[in-house]
C-alpha cells in the first residue's frame, strides 16, 4: 500500500514538471503588456538612395535669342554650352520670306574664339535688307523681310549642332547716343514712339533691369562711372506717322523721350575710351546692347 502511494505521488510530480516550460523559456509564453511594447523605428529600416538614383543636375544648353530695337536694329544673345569642346561656332541670318541669306560680311567669319571661350556672345544686326528696290522687285511691293537666325556649333569630336533663334520681342523704339565734348558728357536718349509714357530707367545698375526697366551704364576704360554722375530728364516731341496699309493717312503722335546725361569723371586721358551699355529684360531673357563712343573724348 505504501509502495502504491509513493508511485502515485511520483507520477503526479512528473506530470506537473512536464507541464512547466524550461528555465530559459519562463517569459516566452507570457505576452508583454501593450504599454511596454517597443515598436521598431521605420526610419532605421530605410536605405538612403544611392547617388545613381538622385536626379541629375540640370545641364546648360546652347541657345540663340534675338530682339529688335525699333524697326532698324536688333540684338543677338548667344549661350555656348561646354565651350571647351567647341572648335567653331557661326551665326547665319536669313530671310524667311525670300529664303536669302544676309550680312555674310558680318557673320561669315564666325564667332570669335575669345568669345567662344567665355561661353557667351552678343552682337547687333541690321533689321532691313541693303537694297529694298531689288527686294520689292523680287518679293512684291511693300514686302518687308522676316529675319531668323541659326547657330551652328562644331565640336572637337567632329559632332555638329544647330539651334534656331527665338525672338523675344522689342526693346526701346529707338536709341540715340551722342558725346558732347564741351560738356564732357554722354547723352543717351531712349524713345518710346507710339507709346503712352516714358521708359523706366535706372543708371549704373544692370542688376535692376527687369520688366520694362532699362539700365544705362557708361564705362570709361572699362570702369563704370559713379552713379552720382547721372541725371535723368524727360522730353516730348510731336511727329507725323503713316502706316504701310494706309500710306495716305497721316497721324500726329507724341514721342516720349527719356534723356540720360552721364558726366565723365575728370580729368580724362587723351587715349581714354568710353562705352554705353544698355541692359534690358525682354520676355524673361536679358540682353545687353553696347555702343562705343568713337569720337575722341578730349
Share of the chain above pLDDT 90, in %: 66
**Domain tally, the chain:** 2
- The x, y and z cell numbers of residue 49, run together, are 538612395
Cα separation, 289 vs 294, whole angstroms: 16
DSSP symbol at 47 = P
Does some domain include residue 87?
yes
Closest by alpha carbon to 91, among 61, 130, 131, 124?
124
CA 240 to chain centre: 37
Least reliable range by pLDDT among 28-37, 50-59, 177-186: 28-37
What is residue 13's predicted lDDT score, i.e. its pLDDT? 40
**Are 286 and 182 part of one and the same domain?**
yes
- The x, y and z cell numbers of residue 185, run together, are 558728357
pLDDT band with cut points at 50, 70 and 90 for residue 258: very high
- The x, y and z cell numbers of residue 12, run together, are 503526479
Cα separation, 243 vs 263, whole angstroms: 39
- The x, y and z cell numbers of residue 105, run together, are 560680311
Which stretches within 94-160 are classed as H helix?
104-107, 113-118, 132-139
What secondary structure does DSSP assign to 242-271, as a single string? EETTEEEEEEEEEEEEEEEEEEPPSS--TT
**Are 176 and 269 part of one and the same domain?**
yes
Does some domain include residue 51?
no
**Is the pLDDT at 38 greater than 90, yes or no?**
no
**Is the pLDDT at 76 greater than 90, yes or no?**
yes
> Which residue did the predictor score with more confidence, 297 or 21?
297
166-184 residue pLDDT tens: 999 999 989 999 999 999 9
Residue with the three cell numbers 527686294: 135
Does some domain include residue 20?
no
Contact criterion met (CB below 8 Å) for 214 and 200:
yes
**Is the pLDDT at 41 greater than 60, yes or no?**
no
**Are 67 and 178 part of one and the same domain?**
no
Does some domain include residue 54?
no
pLDDT band with cut points at 50, 70 and 90 for residue 37: very low
Cα separation, 237 vs 250, whole angstroms: 16
Cα separation, 205 vs 230, whole angstroms: 12
What is residue 40's predicted lDDT score, i.e. its pLDDT? 47
Cα separation, 197 vs 191, whole angstroms: 10
Cα separation, 66 vs 207, whole angstroms: 20
**Are 283 and 178 part of one and the same domain?**
yes
Determine the average pLDDT of the residues in 121-142. 93
- The residue segments making up the domain with residue 256 are 171-293
Contact criterion met (CB below 8 Å) for 145 and 97:
yes
CATH number at residue 265: 2.60.40
Does some domain include residue 275?
yes
Contact criterion met (CB below 8 Å) for 177 and 186:
yes
Cα separation, 174 vs 68, whole angstroms: 10
Share of the chain above pLDDT 70, in %: 79
What is residue 18's predicted lDDT score, i.e. its pLDDT? 43
84-99 residue pLDDT tens: 999 999 999 999 999 9
**Are 152 and 178 part of one and the same domain?**
no
Q: What are phi and psi of 85, to 5 degrees?
A: -105, 10
What is residue 15's predicted lDDT score, i.e. its pLDDT? 41
Distances (CA, A) of 188 to 5, 144, 193: 127, 29, 16
**Is the pLDDT at 8 greater than 50, yes or no?**
no
156-166 residue pLDDT tens: 999 999 999 99
**Are 117 and 215 part of one and the same domain?**
no
What is residue 161's predicted lDDT score, i.e. its pLDDT? 97
195-251 residue pLDDT tens: 789 999 999 999 999 999 999 999 999 999 999 999 999 999 988 877 766 778 888
What is residue 247's predicted lDDT score, i.e. its pLDDT? 74
What is residue 86's predicted lDDT score, i.e. its pLDDT? 97
Task: Please tell me the total number of residues recorded for the chain in this structure.
Answer: 298
Closest by alpha carbon to 99, among 148, 143, 168, 142?
148
Does some domain include residue 15?
no
Determine the average pLDDT of the residues in 2-24. 41
Closest by alpha carbon to 177, among 68, 295, 66?
295
> Which residue did the predictor score with more confidence, 269 or 8?
269
* Model pTM score: 0.73
Boundary residue ending a domain (109, 135, 169): 169
What is residue 58's predicted lDDT score, i.e. its pLDDT? 58
Cα separation, 123 vs 78, whole angstroms: 9
What is residue 49's predicted lDDT score, i.e. its pLDDT? 55
What is residue 1's predicted lDDT score, i.e. its pLDDT? 44
Amino acid at each position: 500500500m505504501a509502495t502504491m502511494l509513493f508511485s502515485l505521488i511520483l507520477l503526479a510530480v512528473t506530470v506537473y514538471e512536464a507541464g512547466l516550460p524550461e528555465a530559459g523559456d519562463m517569459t516566452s509564453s507570457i505576452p508583454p503588456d501593450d504599454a511596454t511594447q517597443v515598436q521598431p523605428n521605420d526610419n532605421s529600416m530605410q536605405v538612403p538612395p544611392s547617388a545613381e538614383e538622385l536626379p541629375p543636375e540640370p545641364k546648360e544648353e546652347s541657345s540663340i535669342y534675338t530682339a529688335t530695337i525699333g524697326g532698324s536694329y536688333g540684338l543677338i544673345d548667344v549661350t555656348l554650352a561646354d565651350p571647351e569642346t567647341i572648335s567653331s561656332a557661326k551665326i547665319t541670318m536669313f530671310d524667311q520670306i525670300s529664303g536669302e541669306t544676309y550680312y555674310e560680311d558680318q557673320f561669315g567669319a564666325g564667332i570669335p574664339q575669345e568669345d567662344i571661350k567665355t561661353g557667351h556672345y552678343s552682337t547687333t544686326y541690321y533689321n532691313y535688307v541693303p537694297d529694298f528696290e531689288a527686294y520689292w522687285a523680287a518679293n512684291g511691293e511693300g514686302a518687308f523681310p522676316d529675319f531668323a537666325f541659326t547657330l551652328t556649333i562644331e565640336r572637337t569630336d567632329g559632332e555638329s549642332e544647330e539651334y534656331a533663334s527665338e525672338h523675344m520681342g522689342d526693346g526701346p523704339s529707338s536709341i540715340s547716343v551722342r558725346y558732347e565734348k564741351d560738356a564732357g558728357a554722354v547723352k543717351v536718349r531712349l524713345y518710346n514712339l507710339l507709346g503712352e509714357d516714358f521708359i523706366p530707367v535706372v543708371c549704373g545698375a544692370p542688376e535692376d533691369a527687369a520688366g520694362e526697366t532699362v539700365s544705362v551704364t557708361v564705362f570709361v576704360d572699362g570702369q563704370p562711372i559713379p552713379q552720382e554722375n547721372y541725371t535723368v530728364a524727360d522730353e516730348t516731341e510731336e511727329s507725323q506717322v503713316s502706316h504701310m496699309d494706309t500710306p495716305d493717312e497721316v497721324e500726329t503722335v507724341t514721342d516720349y523721350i527719356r534723356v540720360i546725361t552721364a558726366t565723365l569723371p575728370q580729368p580724362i586721358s587723351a587715349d581714354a575710351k568710353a562705352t554705353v551699355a544698355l541692359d534690358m529684360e525682354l520676355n524673361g531673357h536679358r540682353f545687353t546692347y553696347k555702343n562705343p563712343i568713337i569720337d575722341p573724348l578730349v
